[in-house]
Amino acid sequence: MIRLYHIVKSYGDRDALRDVSLHVEKGELVYVTGPSGAGKSTMLKLLYGAERPTSGRMLIAGVDVAKMSRGQLPALRRNLGVVFQDFKLLPHRSVAENVGIALEVIGAAPDSIRRRVPAVLNIVGLKGREDDKAGVLSGGEKQRVAIARAIVTDPAILLADEPTGNLDGAMAVEVMEILQAINLRGTTVVVATHDVGLMDRFPYRRLRFVDGRILGGGAQAGGRR
């Protein structure tokens, strides 16, 4: 599903990623881990097209993302779900509007949006909270809304950049359980995190980044542990 070959990403003289090659199979859940500044977030940004690699090939579902023009990126992103550490929600909009925005962008009919949003909110445990403003929710609830927005279009891949970084332990476990459930439905999930305790509790293959490189190589498919 995701194949990176000798990816290098440089910012001026500094290399954020150095010769990174990795494979993530369809339906797999993997962690991208490592200390701060190791290149976790940079790698996820490359995957959803927020950054371009300096060199190397990057295939997502067989398409070379590195060669995509700016105008082709929206099509890629409509097939990806992305969850951010800072949620990236519109605080003055309702939960339903925040989730529905991803469906509006792909041109879903209003009826379809009205049906689909409550169903997804049910999956993330926010049933009945459609009309609440996103700004008044707790951190854990906001992250659930962000996850709901990421999966409402049924993407093949879900990318989560430090999804539990702003949450306490119990909330982090709840969010991880949701991501696990989504993975069990067949979605490929990539989670960037440095929370070792969480990774130990939910053991999946780890791609450990240190100083822009993957320790031990990332090319082997791991599947679920």
Partner 1 sequence: MKNSIFHAVRGLREHTYLAVVGTGVIAAALVLLGGYAMIVTNLGAVVSGWKRDVHVSAYFVPGQSPEAQEAARAELALRPEVELVELVTSAEAQVWMLERVPEVQPIVEELGEGALPASLEVSLRAAYTSPVALDAFAESLREGGHFAEIDYGREWVERSSAFLHTLTILGVALGGMLVLAALFLVGNTINLVVYARRDELEILRLVGASDGYILAPFLVEGALQGLVGGGAALSLLYGVHALVVARLLGGVPLALGEGGLAFLSPVAAVGLAALGVSIGVAAAGFSVRRFLSRLA
The rounded distance, in Å, linking the Cα atoms of 109 and 32 is 36
Is residue 102 near partner 1 by the rule CB under 8 A?
yes
Nearest CB to partner 1, comparing residues 115 and 201: 115
Q: Closest CB to partner 1 among 104 and 177?
A: 104
Backbone angles phi, psi at 118, to 5 degrees: -60, -35
Among the residue ranges 45-53, 186-194, 195-203, 205-213, the one whose residues contact partner 1 (CB under 8 A): 45-53
Residue 159 CB, shortest distance to partner 1, in Å, is 11
Rounded to whole angstroms, the Cα distance separating 223 from 3 reads: 15
- Tell me if residue 140 falls in helix, strand or coil: helix
Total residues contacting partner 1 by CB under 8 A comes to 24
Q: Which span sits near partner 1 by CB under 8 A: 67-75, 174-182, 197-205, 215-223?
A: 67-75
* Orientation of helix 95-105 relative to helix 110-123, angle to 10°: 120
User: Is residue 149 at the binding interface for partner 1, with CB under 8 A as the rule?
Assistant: yes
Of 6, 55, 106, 186, the one binding partner 1 by CB under 8 A: 106
Is 50 one of the binding residues for partner 1 (CB under 8 A)?
yes
Task: Rank residues 77 and 114 by Cβ distance to partner 1 and give the closer one.
Answer: 77
Helix segments in the chain, DSSP class H: 40-47, 73-78, 95-105, 110-123, 139-151, 169-184, 196-201
**92 makes contact with partner 1 (CB under 8 A):** yes
Burial grade of 132 (CB within 10 A; 0-12, 13-18, 19 or more): middle
Cα separations in angstroms, 135 against 104, 128, 188 = 21, 16, 29
Q: Which residues bind partner 1 (CB under 8 A)?
A: 45, 48-51, 71, 73-78, 80, 82, 88-90, 92, 101-102, 104-106, 149
